[in-house]
Amino acid sequence: MKIFYTDTFPIPLPEKHSFPKSKYDLLRRRIMESQIAQHVDLKIPRPATYEEIIRAHDPTYIHRLQNGELSAKEIRRVGLPWSAEIVRRARYSAGGTIEACRAALEEGIAVNLGGGTHHAFSDHGQGYCWLNDSVIAARAIQAEGLAGSILIVDCDVHQGNGTAAIVNNDPTIFTFSIHGKNNFPYQKEKSDLDIALENGADNAVYLKALEKGLKESMDTAGADLVIYLAGADPYKDDRFGRLALTKNGLVERDRLVFQSCLEAGLPTAVTMAGGYARDVQDTVDIHFQTVLAALKSKT
């Protein structure tokens, strides 16, 4: 199974910043030191090109992002300090999702150990997200003629508002978001299918809702490819989550998604999205079990 990583490109942050940048590097190391190391092919992707990025984003925004011309207010909205390095990392991370899609179409499933930056809108960033890798990748794959219709299954605990807004009038990309009703973003956009869960929703409530949502979105989307955002933040001990899933519940979630895709004959590209557990090792455990479940679904 191909796994793309970009943690070798730095994210310059002030000390004690709440963004858990260490999880990416810890996750890759966990994979390399585990029993599955020999069954995976870890690769650095190529970065998303300007042409690919502007299929999802306003060219003026991209020009200003690239050249450090965003206002202080626009940067505050993202919550990360702007730097040329951080933009470079975002371009590689979006490239990882493109390459994971391509590999999934060839081999059934592939993983990007990054991506899932679903709060980025066409003309602005938000909530730790500069570029919307899901839409960039979906449209890159469509432009290459590799898939017509794409289903985005967003299981990050926060609504995929940027994704929903960008593809609002695009019938070829179906967005399904299952998230906490009372979580950021407080002003939600309209996905093709939204399932908003109350605070404290547990494994049973979540899995039942997810099963229903997967069935409905697969029946409606007529997709050729799935992009799955496997956020670790529905976890009960997540700082920003508000839901109450356990690690077992989250691995059941992953299995349910992979099983449904397999049964529908849909290639699946997996991205990591959020994860802010009080102990970063819990976030890494959750993402690692997603990788294990992906590999198992392939064999």
User: What residues line the site for Zn ion (CB under 5 A)?
Assistant: 156, 158, 231, 233, 274
**CA 89/CA 8 separation, integer angstroms:** 9
Residue 126 or residue 260: which is nearer to Zn ion going by CB?
126
CB of 246 to Zn ion, least distance (A): 18
Min dist CB 144 to Zn ion, Å, is 29
Handedness of CA 184, 287, 132, 153 (dihedral sign): negative
Indicate the residue among 96 and 274 with the shorter CB distance to Zn ion: 274
Nearest residue to Zn ion by CB is 274
User: By the 8 A CB rule, do 11 and 21 touch?
Assistant: yes
* Shortest CB 179 distance to Zn ion, Å: 8
Tokens of 44: 């650095």
Token pair of 200 as six digits? 């404290």
Q: What angle do CA 142, 255, 287 make, to 5 degrees?
A: 80
Ranges of H-type helices in the chain:
22-32, 50-53, 59-66, 72-78, 84-107, 133-143, 161-166, 203-221, 247-263, 280-298
Lookup: tokens for 105: 């179409």
CB nearer Zn ion, residue 136 or residue 243: 243
Q: How far is the CB of 42 from Zn ion (least distance, A)?
A: 25
Of residues 94 and 266, the one with the C-beta less far from Zn ion: 94
Is residue 38 exposed (0-12), middle (13-18) or buried (19+ Cβ within 10 Å)?
exposed
Sign of the CA dihedral with 236 first, then 89, 176, and 141 last = negative
Q: What is the spatial distance between Cα 230 and Cα 116, in angstroms, rounded to a whole number? A: 8
Q: Exposed, middle or buried, 66 (CB in 10 Å: 0-12/13-18/19+)? A: middle
Q: How far is the CB of 240 from Zn ion (least distance, A)?
A: 7
CB closer to Zn ion out of 156 and 254? 156
d(CA 233, CA 239): 8
In the complex, least distance from residue 141 CB atom to Zn ion, rounded to whole angstroms: 24
CB of 298 to Zn ion, least distance (A): 26
Smallest separation, CB 36 to Zn ion (Å): 26
Kindly report the length of the chain.
299
Nearer to Zn ion, 217 or 271 (CB): 271
Asked if 184 and 127 count as a contact pair (C-beta separation under 8 A), the reply is: yes
Whichever of 40 and 178 has its CB closer to Zn ion, that residue is 178
Name the residue nearer to Zn ion (CB basis): 267 or 274: 274
